[in-house]
Amino acid sequence: MSFDIVIHNGRLITVNSKFDIIDNGIICVKDTKIEKITKSESAKPLPIAKLSIDAKGGLILPGLVNTHTHLPMTLFRGLADDLALDEWLNNYIFPAEKRYINKDSVRLGSLLGCAEMLSFGITTCCDGYFIEDEVANAVLNAGLRAVLGHGVIDFPAPGITDPKDNIKYANKFIEKWIDRSPLITPSIFCHSPYTCSSETLKRAKRIAAEKGLIFQIHAAETRQEMEGIKARHGVTPIAYLDKLDVLDKNTLLVHTLWIDDNDINIITRKKANVSHNPESNMKLASGILPLVELLDAGIVVGLGTDGSASNNNLNLFETMNVTSKIHKVKNLNPTLIDAAMVLKMATIDGARALGLDNKIGSLEPGKQADIIIIDTRQPHLVPLYNPVSHLIYAARGSDVKDVLVAGKIVVRNKKLLTIDIGNLQDTVNLMADKIDVTLP
Amino acid sequence: MSFDIVIHNGRLITVNSKFDIIDNGIICVKDTKIEKITKSESAKPLPIAKLSIDAKGGLILPGLVNTHTHLPMTLFRGLADDLALDEWLNNYIFPAEKRYINKDSVRLGSLLGCAEMLSFGITTCCDGYFIEDEVANAVLNAGLRAVLGHGVIDFPAPGITDPKDNIKYANKFIEKWIDRSPLITPSIFCHSPYTCSSETLKRAKRIAAEKGLIFQIHAAETRQEMEGIKARHGVTPIAYLDKLDVLDKNTLLVHTLWIDDNDINIITRKKANVSHNPESNMKLASGILPLVELLDAGIVVGLGTDGSASNNNLNLFETMNVTSKIHKVKNLNPTLIDAAMVLKMATIDGARALGLDNKIGSLEPGKQADIIIIDTRQPHLVPLYNPVSHLIYAARGSDVKDVLVAGKIVVRNKKLLTIDIGNLQDTVNLMADKIDVTLP
C-alpha cells in the first residue's frame, strides 16, 4: 500500500488515551486521514509515499484546538488596552464594530487570524461572531478546520439591524453551512445570558439541538454579570441557563469564572463543556477560573485564546504556558495542572468540548491528519529531557515548522502556503489606517 | 562627521524620561555609543556611516535587561517540572548540580543561555551562580553585557568544597573581573537569608559595598522561608536583612513575594531595588509579588526570567506579557501595570536596579548602543495601532530581528553572529544525554 504523505524522524506525542510517546515514530497519511502509526526500524525502508516529510528530530503532535475566537476582531488587535472593561467595550470595541465591521473587514480580519493560528500550530478553532458567512469563507481559504457560530444578541449587531431577526440569520447560516464542507461545522453563538433574553436563549438552543450542533455562550465572565443575573433572575448565570434548559453535552460555556459549587454540580450533571481563556481573563482582569475544581468534577475543559482585541494574539502555546502557571500560583501548589494535563486541554479535550474527538485531537489511525511539527533545534529548546514539558514551558508558536490539516500541507518550513500573507498584511494595514481610534 | 552604524526606517521607542516615540527615526552609532538620534526627513539623505541597517518599518528599542538569571542552569531546562519545591530542589536540582556542574558544563550552559537571551533581545543580564569565572568567559564570547555575581552560600557548592572559603572565592572573582571588560561588572550573589549566616551576609555585603558593587540576594521567595526566618530571628526576611544593615541602593532583592507593609517601608527607605520574576514564581507556585504596592511606594522594580530550570526559558517578552496580566487579574483591575510601565521595567528600571541607568536602558545620545529591532511584518503583529501595546501583548522573543550590544552587531536577520549555535546545541545535547534524571 502506498501513502500520500509519510512523516518520519521525529518523536510522536500522540495524546491518545495512553498518552503514548513514540521515539523515532512514523505517521502515514492517506487522503485526509492518519492511516498508520508505527516506529521506525533502521533495517526497514520508509513506507512508500508520494511525499515524505523529515521532522528532523523534532516533535510531532496533533494540531492544537482553539476553543474560543472572534476572528474578525483580529482587525482590532491592540486598538485599546489597559482600560476598564466598560470603557474598553463601550468607548472602543462596540463603536469600532459599529463603524468598521462589514463583509470586507470580516473576511480580511478572519483571514489574518487564520494565518496567525496556522503559523502557530492551531488547526481547529471554534469561532463566534457576526457576518459569519465571511468567516467561513476565510477559514476555507486558509485551510483550517472550524466550528463556526453565527452570533445571536438582542441588540443591533453587524449585519443585523433588527435584533428580532437574530435567530433567523443564525438559522440561515446553519442551513447554508451544514454538510457543505468537511472542514466546517456550523454552530450557534449566543453572546451571553445578559445580552440575550430567556426567549432568545431557548429558541437558539432549540435550533442548535435539533441538528446536534454546538451552542456556544459566554457565561459568568465577570463579577458584574454574575451579580446582575442574580439580581434579575435570583440565581447565578449557570443556574439561570440551567433553568432555561440550555445546558447539555453540546453546550460550550465560555469563561465561567464566577461560579460556585452548585454551578459546578450543574455543569457536571448536564455534561456541558467549558472553554478556558486565561490570557483574556487576566488581561481584562475578569478573574481566574476554578480550573482544578472543574477538572476534579470531571468536566471537560478546552483552551481558547479569545479574540485578538483582548489577548492580543492567537497563540495557544502562550495560553498553554500561562494556564499551567496561573493555576499553580493561584493554588500555591506547583504539582497541579501539569504539562501533560495542559497539552490534553489544548488538543483532545478541546476536541471533546467541540464534539469532534472522534475526528481530531490526537494522533491515532482513523483520525483526521491534523498534524503539527515542532522544530526543536533552537537554543531555547536545548537540551530536551521531557518533550511534554518543553511543549508547555519552553516552546512557542513560532517553533511550529510544518502544519497539516486533513492531510493537506498548509504550513511548510514556517511558510504559510494557503494565503499570500504579505499582500494580506498590506491590505489589513491600509484598512486599519482608516480606523479612527479616538472614538467619542 | 561619519558614524559606524546608522539604523533607519523604523519607529524608535526611546524609553527616555519623556517616553518619546519617534516615527521614522534614525539612530547614529559611533564606536560603542549612541551618538545622535533624529527623525528622518525625506529631502535629506541618511547620515554617512560605514553600515546602515534598514529596520523595514519595525520597532527599534533599547535592549532588554534581564535582572535575574542562573545561566549555567540552562543545562537543566525541563529536567524536572510540576513538583513540590522541596522535591524539585532536593531530589533533582541540588543532586544534578552536585554531579554535573563543573567548569565545562558552566561554560556550555552559560553560552546556550546567552545565545537564547541575545536571540530574544536581551542585551544585559544579572547573573548569580558558582564557578562564575566561566559564566564571565561565556558572556564575553557571546557579546552580552552582564552584572555577574559569584555565589556565596554556607553549604558546599560547585567549585567550593569548604563553605568557609565562600567569601574568598567571591572576592577573588571580583578582583579578577573588576575593570577587566566594559561589558562585565562583577557583583556578589548571596543565595538567601536562610542559606547564609548573619556573619556571611554582613561580610559579603561589606566586600560589595567597598567597591560600590551590586549585592544580589533571593529574599522572601516562599512562605516557608518567611515563616522560618520569623521563627529563627523574630522578624520578616526583609526586616532581618535590614537589621544586618545589608540594604541600600546597591542591594538587589530578588523575588520578595512574602512581604508586609513594614517590609515595603524598609525597602523604600533604604532605596533597595527589586527583581521581579513572575514566571518562575508562578511555575514554582511561590506566590505573587505585591507589585502595585511596591511601585506606589516608589521602589524600582526590574524584570527577570530566573534560571531555565524554573521558567523554562529566558524570554523576557513572555515575562513582560505575563507581568501585565498577572497583576491586572490579581487586583481585578485591567488599568493597572499598563504596557508602558512594563516596558520601562524591562529596560530603564532594570538598568536602574543594576546601577547601570547612566549607561543603558534607553535610547539616548551618550548611552551605550544596546539596541534591538523588532520585525513587525508578521501576521500576529498586524495591524499596529500602538507599538507599546504590541511589544507587551502581541510580540514575542522570536520577533527580534537585529541586536546590537555596545555598538557591535550580535544578531543580524535573526542569526546569532557570535556563537556557532548548531555546534553548541550538539555539544550540550551530548552532555545532557549523560545526565541521569532518575536521581535517588
CATH at residue B123 = 3.20.20.140
The residue among A229, A159, A151, A162 whose CA lies nearest residue A190 is A151
Domain hosting B110: range is 64-353
The residue among A185, A243, A186, A183 whose CA lies nearest residue A219 is A243
User: How many CB atoms neighbour CB B56 within 10 A?
Assistant: 13
pLDDT above 60 for A210: yes
- Answer yes or no: is A43 within a domain: yes
Are B219 and B94 part of one and the same domain?
yes
**For B333-358, what is the mean pLDDT?**
98
A389:B112 CB<8 A: no
Are B113 and B201 part of one and the same domain?
yes
CA distance B281 to B292: 16
Are B266 and B330 part of one and the same domain?
yes
B338:A422 CB<8 A: no
The residue among B80, B30, B77, B27 whose CA lies nearest residue B54 is B27
Residue the block writes with cell 479535550: A349
CA distance A223 to A260: 12
- Answer yes or no: is B436 within a domain: no
Q: Binning pLDDT at 50, 70 and 90, where does residue A43 land?
A: confident
Per-residue burial over B387-417, b if 16 or more Cβ lie within 10 Å, else e, is: bbbbbbbbbbbbbbbbbbbbbbbbbeeeebe
Are B200 and B296 part of one and the same domain?
yes
Helix (H) or strand (E) holding A85: helix A85-87
Asked if A418 has any chain B CB less than 8 Å from its own CB, the reply is no
The 10s digit of each residue's pLDDT in A47-68 is: 999 999 999 999 999 999 999 9
The set of residues, in sequence order, having a beta carbon less than 8 Å from that of A271 and lying 6+ positions away, is A248, A249
Would you call B39 exposed, middle or buried from its count of C-beta atoms within 10 A (0-12, 13-18, 19+)? exposed
Centroid of chain to Cα A236: 26
CA distance B379 to A109: 11
**For A378-385, what is the mean pLDDT?**
96
Q: Report whether A402 contacts B132 (CB < 8 A).
A: no
C-alpha grid cell, residue B192? 538567601
Selecting from A285, A313, A382 the residue whose C-beta is nearest the C-beta of B394 gives A313
Cis peptide before A333 (omega within 30 of 0): no
Q: What is the overall mean pLDDT for chain B?
A: 96
Are B45 and B151 part of one and the same domain?
no
pLDDT above 90 for B89: no
- Answer yes or no: is A390 within a domain: yes
pLDDT value at residue B437: 66
pLDDT value at residue A437: 66
pLDDT value at residue B439: 52
A334:B83 CB<8 A: yes
List of long-range contacts for A157-163, beta carbons under 8 Å, 24+ apart: A157/A97, A157/A130, A158/A97, A158/A98, A158/A101, A158/A102, A158/A106, A158/A130, A158/A131, A159/A130, A159/A131, A160/A130
B313:A283 CB<8 A: no
pLDDT value at residue B386: 95
When divided into structural domains, chain B yields a total of 2
Q: What is the overall mean pLDDT for chain A?
A: 96
pLDDT above 60 for A75: yes
Q: What is the ipTM of this complex?
A: 0.97
A84:B377 CB<8 A: no
The set of residues, in sequence order, having a beta carbon less than 8 Å from that of B17 and lying 6+ positions away, is none
pLDDT above 80 for B377: yes
Q: Binning pLDDT at 50, 70 and 90, where does residue B438 land?
A: low
pLDDT above 70 for A297: yes
**For A384-402, what is the mean pLDDT?**
97
Residue of chain B with shortest Cα separation from A326: B282
Asked if A430 has any chain B CB less than 8 Å from its own CB, the reply is no
Percent with pLDDT over 70 in chain A: 99
As a whole number of Å, the CA-based R_g of chain A is 21
CA distance B52 to B430: 40
pLDDT above 60 for B251: yes
Q: Binning pLDDT at 50, 70 and 90, where does residue B84 land?
A: confident
- Answer yes or no: is A120 within a domain: no
pLDDT value at residue A303: 98
Cis peptide before A45 (omega within 30 of 0): no
Are B371 and B279 part of one and the same domain?
no
pLDDT above 60 for A326: yes
pLDDT value at residue A439: 52
pLDDT above 90 for B226: yes
Are B134 and B243 part of one and the same domain?
yes
Selecting from B112, B335, B424 the residue whose C-beta is nearest the C-beta of A84 gives B335
B77:A394 CB<8 A: yes
Judging contacts by C-beta atoms under 8 Å, the chain B residues touching residue A88 are: 334
Selecting from A83, A396, A425 the residue whose C-beta is nearest the C-beta of B382 gives A425
Q: Binning pLDDT at 50, 70 and 90, where does residue B219 land?
A: very high
Residue of chain A with shortest Cα separation from B115: A379
- Answer yes or no: is B431 within a domain: no
Are B212 and B317 part of one and the same domain?
yes
Q: Report whether B399 contacts B95 (CB < 8 A).
A: no
Q: DSSP string spanning A344-390? A: HHHTHHHHHHTT-TTTSSS--TTSB--EEEE---SGGG-S-S-HHHI
Q: CA of B327, closest CA in chain A: separation in Å?
A: 8
Judging contacts by C-beta atoms under 8 Å, the chain B residues touching residue A384 are: 78, 429, 432
- Answer yes or no: is A28 within a domain: yes
List the single range of A84-93, A210-219, B117-126, B251-260 with lowest mean pLDDT.
A84-93
Selecting from A88, A377, A383 the residue whose C-beta is nearest the C-beta of B432 gives A383
Q: Binning pLDDT at 50, 70 and 90, where does residue A181 land?
A: very high
Q: DSSP string spanning B176-206? A: HHTTT-TTEEEEEEE--TTTS-HHHHHHHHH
For residue A372, give the CATH number of its domain.
Answer: 2.30.40.10
Interface probe for B, chosen from A69, A82, A118, A439 (most Cβ of B below 10 Å), is A82
List of long-range contacts for A422-428, beta carbons under 8 Å, 24+ apart: A422/B377, A424/A108, A424/A111, A424/A112, A424/A115, A424/B379, A425/A112, A425/B377, A425/B379, A425/B382, A427/A108, A428/A75, A428/A108, A428/A109, A428/A112, A428/B382, A428/B383
B324:A283 CB<8 A: yes
Asked if B112 has any chain A CB less than 8 Å from its own CB, the reply is yes
A285:B331 CB<8 A: yes
- Answer yes or no: is B412 within a domain: yes
Q: Report whether B235 contacts B207 (CB < 8 A).
A: no
Q: CA of B395, closest CA in chain A: separation in Å?
A: 8
Q: DSSP string spanning B81-126? A: -S--HHHIIIIIIHHHHHHH-SHHHHHHHHHHHHHHHHHTTEEEEE
CA distance B173 to B137: 12
**For A257-279, what is the mean pLDDT?**
98
Reduce the DSSP state of residue B329 to 3 states and report it.
Answer: helix
- Answer yes or no: is A130 within a domain: no
CA distance A338 to A343: 9
User: How many CB atoms neighbour CB A438 within 10 A?
Assistant: 4
Are B211 and B231 part of one and the same domain?
yes
Selecting from A377, A393, A437 the residue whose C-beta is nearest the C-beta of B312 gives A393
Q: Report whether A217 contacts A241 (CB < 8 A).
A: yes
B328:A384 CB<8 A: no
